Structure formats: structure tokens, C-alpha cells
Structure 1
Amino acid sequence: MKSLLAPGHRGCAGCCDAMAAKFTLMGAGEDCIVINPTGCLEVMTTPFPETAWDVPWVHSLFENAAAVGAGVEAALKALGKKGNTKVVVMGGDGATLDIGMRSISGAFERGHDFTYVCIDNEAYMNTGVQRSGATPYNASTTTSPSGKVSFGNPRPKKNMPAIMVAHGSPYVATTSLAYPKDMIKKVQKATEIEGPSYIHCHAPCTTGWGFDTSKTVEVARMAVQTGLWPLYEVENGDITKVRKLGKSIKPVEDYLKMQRRFSHLFKMEGGEEEIAKIQAIADKNIEVYGL
């Protein structure tokens, strides 16, 4: 299968965005148009006058990627050129859960035929590891630092897939870059379904999370194995497929220990209680999704 994201881009070693973008393109195929808002993926793949994209690519603003995607889809239809061409938006968690929420909501409400892929590295990595709506509970970021009066981010991670299900999307799925075949298959399915589809990819960031560049896939896999990141599909409002864990479920402590952003929980007084709260989040996922 041809790689539509060329090597030689400026991504970090072990870059999660590069992996997620590569798998997305493998699922969408060559006949696609990509809309990409401001963020790490945009910056490291398109330093003027270079580009790593081997498909038509449009850079949007942070806040309007879904609106641009909707416009591209509408223009193709108006020109009679839509055919099998896939319109794919790839945005980070900041451009999706926070700044771009309004345009995503509008595009999905209007029913545009395109696929939105959120590459979720759980903070604003491109601008200095600031907290986003996707930052998990107790993670330390530059705007939610751990310290004498704080264990880090005090708010739970926003459930964006559930929000998109509530918008009436015919297909919503979660993925992880640790399971490329699963992601490729889900993206392919999403792009072939008529209407606005949504894919949410968990993407560990070596720089912002604080782990060795060789461990990206290992960290991503552990998030799934603990139950903190369940893999599932929702079709027309109903959960249709879930990746079961069975007896292979790992304690969240194993996942947290792999990352500098949670290291304070193993040093601060009261850290054990906070780890237990994170374990409770995983336990609830295991129960709700039948993992």
C-alpha cells in the first residue's frame, strides 16, 4: 500500500501525528482531499516551500477546519466532481475539542459528507504543552502544572466521541496508533459511509508526555490495555463493535509510570489516592463498554 505521507518531514522521532496521518491516508486512499488546521501536523509537514503530502492538502485556521471541509465537499458537489473523492479533515485535540467545536457542530448538523479525524495528543503541543479539553485528569501541563497546591489538570477529559454521536453522526469510532490495521479499517469505513463521520485517534506525544521516542506505540497500547482508552464503533447511535480486553487488562499505574507528565503522582503526598481516582475512570470504561 502506497504511503501518501512522504518521509523527510520535520516531525520528532516517534511522532504520533505522523503515524496517525499516515494511517488515515492509507484508509482514505489516493482520491482524497485533506483539510488540516494549524497544529503540529501542519507545521512539521509543510515548512515553505516543502510539503510531505502526496494528496491535495488545504491549510485552514485553528477554528474552522470543519467549515472548510464542508465547503470543499459542497463545492465538489456543485461542480459535479464529488464522485468517490473523499474529503478528510485532520485536526488535533485543540482544534477539535476546543477552538473548532463550533464549526464541527455546524458541519455535522448540516450533514456534510466528509470524515473528521481528531489526532488527540491531549494538549496544545505545538505551542508549548498547554492544557486542552482533551487533557486527562491529573496530567501536568504548562498551564496546569503539578505543585504544592495541585496534582495537575483538575478536570476530566472531554468525551468528544459521545458529543459527535449526539450530533447524529452515522459513524463514530475511536482508534489508537498502536493498532494501525484497526485504524486503517475504521477510516476506510468512515469515508465510505454517506454523511459526516468522526474518528478519534489516541496519539501519545513523546515531547509533551515525556517518554523515550522509541516508546510511542508501547505507551499507546498500554492506554488501551488499561481501559483508559476503549476502542469501539458507534453506528447510528448504537455501539456495534468493541475491542475486548479479557484477562489482559493492566493496572493504570503501569501506564502512568511510563510518562513524565504523571511522575508527580508517585512522589507527592496523596498521590496514591489520585492514582486510585484514575483507576476508577478505567474501571468505569471497562464496565460501560464491556471490555
Structure 2
Amino acid sequence: MEVLGPKTITMTPPSCSAILTGSGDETGWGIPSVQTVLMSLPAFASGVSEALKIQGKNDVTVMGLAGDGGTFDIGLQALSGAIERGHKALFICYNNEAYMNTGNQRSSATTLGAATKTTPTGKKEVAKDIDFMLLHTPLAYQATASVANMKDLKRKIAKAAAKDGPSFIHIMTPCPSGWKFPTEQAIQVAKLAVKCGMWLQFEREDGKITINQKPTDWGAVSTYIGMQKRFNRINPETIASITEAAKKRYETLMKLGEIECL
């Protein structure tokens, strides 16, 4: 909100952020806000965006804020439709890699090997790569970001809000209670994820991909995983597989950066 300012309308689905939005006439945002149904936040945003266009209010930002459950899974169809139709709105996904609001159940964003309430022995599937999926959509702006680099996050939010079309920002948001590490280590965990390549920092604008921060220590993947008790049951073979997958993802991103995307 420091970046977007008071001329913003926001909405959230049922999620951890819903406690801020509220469910009635009162809200913690201090701006117009609404709690949507879980699967339809982008549809709500589409309607608000079109209403503002009809009213000639082109200086108002429509922002949807959803977790990975409401973005990767239950809200994916509505997000895809909103992007395809080209509505002017900023969609933000704060990714804490599970359905944390309802007690930490696995989502398609949950990392391979991570324990949740519904994967107590560790998730058996790799996480959905929503960023690479959305590279093939006509977004006006797309970026990843991290709570460990607020300057970069603010810059990307400002860019996204200025676009005349749909924008998507994917933010890594470590969850101390769900990932099982001390609260004071949240920023340290987020920084380490970028350092070891588990979280890639990039943006796509005008058909070009820019990598904002390169991984510097692939060997730190094991340290990153070791800081989180949700990985207590993981074995060295799975850690090696996760590291190799992270390397390949970065290599693919570098190759994509050499060509123009949609």
C-alpha cells in the first residue's frame, strides 16, 4: 500500500490474509476491500476493473492478493481467464507452500519432501511451476519477488500497477509455523532460498526476461532444507534431486532470457 497509495481497491479470498480484509463492513486495509469466494478472486477483480473502465476511473489500481492455494490450485482457472481477457489488474500470490489458513495441508506449491498435515511423511510430488506456466500467457508484466528484498518488491509492484493490462507478482513468503523454524529466522530463510537457487528472482516485461539476482551457492540447498523441520523425513537422495531440479530450472530460465516470450 505504500507503493500503490489510497486509490486502490483490493480483494482476498479466504486465506491467511482474510483476517486483514474482514468479512463485513470493517477492514484492516483502510481502502475499499472485499473478501471473495476462494475460487473466484480474479473474476471479482475482472468485474471491478471493467466497472472502473466504464466509469472512466483509470487512476485506480485493482489488486488481488491470494495465497498459493487460491492461485496455484482453486483459483487457477479464474486467473487464467482474467489474464486471457486482458483485464487491468494486479494479481499477487504470496506463496507459503501450503494451505496454512486451515492448518497446513499440502498444495501444488508444496516442495517435494515437505511434511504437511496431509503429507506427514513428506510430499511425493514436485511443486507446480506456475511461473513457467504463466510465461506462456499474455501478461502485461510478470515477476517473482521475496519478502527478503523489499526494495525489489516495491519496484516490481510499482511497475505492475502502471501497466494497462493484467500483471502477476509471485512472492516467496516463508511461514514459520508451517515450515517449522523460529519466527526470527524468516528473512534469513527467504534470503537463503534465493542464494541457493530454490527461489529465482526475475521479471518479464515487453517480451523479455531479466534475471534480477543469480543463485550463488547451489550447495546451500541442504542448509536451506535443514533449517526447516518440515523436511525432517527427507533423505539425501531427495535433496540431491531437488538441487538438480533447481539447477535445471535456472538453466531453462537463462535460455528463455535469450529469446522473446509472449
Q: What TM-score, normalized by structure 2, do the two folds share?
A: 0.92
Give the corresponding residue for 2:10. Answer: 34
Q: Output the CA distance in 1 between the equivalents of 2:205 and 2:124.
A: 32
One-letter amino acid of the counterpart of residue 120, structure 1: N
Give the corresponding residue for 1:70. Answer: 46
Q: Output the CA distance in 2 between the equivalents of 1:277 and 1:92.
A: 26
One-letter amino acid of the counterpart of residue 40, structure 1: C
Once the two structures are superposed, residues 123-163 of structure 1 have per-residue CA deviations (whole angstroms, 9 ceiling, x without a partner) of 000111111011111111111121xxxxx111111111222
Question: What is the percent sequence identity of the aligned residues?
Answer: 39
Q: Output the CA distance in 1 between the equivalents of 2:210 and 2:163.
A: 15
Question: 1:26 aligns to what SS in structure 2?
Answer: coil
Change (3 A) 1:113 1:50: closer
Give the corresponding residue for 1:224. Answer: 194
Once the two structures are superposed, residues 80-137 of structure 1 have per-residue CA deviations (whole angstroms, 9 ceiling, x without a partner) of 2x22111010000000010011111111110000110001100000111111011111
Q: Output the CA distance in 2 between the equivalents of 1:213 and 1:197.
A: 31
- Runs (5+) with no aligned partner, structure 2: 255-262
Contact 1:161 1:198 in 2 (8 A): no
Contact 1:168 1:237 in 2 (8 A): no
Q: Output the CA distance in 2 between the equivalents of 1:104 and 1:238.
A: 22
Task: Find runs of 4+ consecutive structure 1 residues off by over 4 angstroms.
Answer: 47-50
Question: 2:3 aligns to what SS in structure 1?
Answer: helix
Question: Which residue of 68, 89, 102 maps to 1:127?
Answer: 102
Contact 1:165 1:237 in 2 (8 A): no
Question: Which residue of 213, 222, 225 maps to 1:256?
Answer: 225
Question: Which residue of 206, 210, 230 maps to 1:240?
Answer: 210
Give the corresponding residue for 2:90. Answer: 115
Q: After TM superposition, list the pairs within 5 Å mapping 1:193-232 onto structure 2.
A: 193-232=163-202
Question: 2:63 aligns to what SS in structure 1?
Answer: strand
One-letter amino acid of the counterpart of residue 133, structure 2: I
Change (3 A) 1:134 1:144: same
Q: CA RMSD in A?
A: 1.8
- Runs (5+) with no aligned partner, structure 1: 1-24, 147-151, 266-270
Change (3 A) 1:117 1:213: same
Contact 1:117 1:198 in 2 (8 A): yes
Contact 1:169 1:236 in 2 (8 A): no
Residue 209 of structure 1, CA deviation = 0.6
Question: 2:236 aligns to what SS in structure 1?
Answer: helix
Question: 1:178 aligns to what SS in structure 2?
Answer: coil
Contact 1:174 1:231 in 2 (8 A): yes
Question: 2:198 aligns to what SS in structure 1?
Answer: coil
One-letter amino acid of the counterpart of residue 22, structure 2: T
Q: Output the CA distance in 2 between the equivalents of 1:102 and 1:36.
A: 16
State whether structure 2 residue 154 is matched by structure 1 residue 179: no
One-letter amino acid of the counterpart of residue 128, structure 1: G
Give the corresponding residue for 1:276. Answer: 240
Q: Output the CA distance in 2 between the equivalents of 1:58 and 1:69.
A: 10
Question: 2:232 aligns to what SS in structure 1?
Answer: helix
Change (3 A) 1:261 1:227: same
Residue 50 of structure 1, CA deviation = 5.2
Contact 1:173 1:200 in 2 (8 A): yes
Contact 1:252 1:279 in 2 (8 A): yes
Residue 77 of structure 1, CA deviation = 1.1
Give the corresponding residue for 2:137. Answer: 167
Question: 2:38 aligns to what SS in structure 1?
Answer: coil
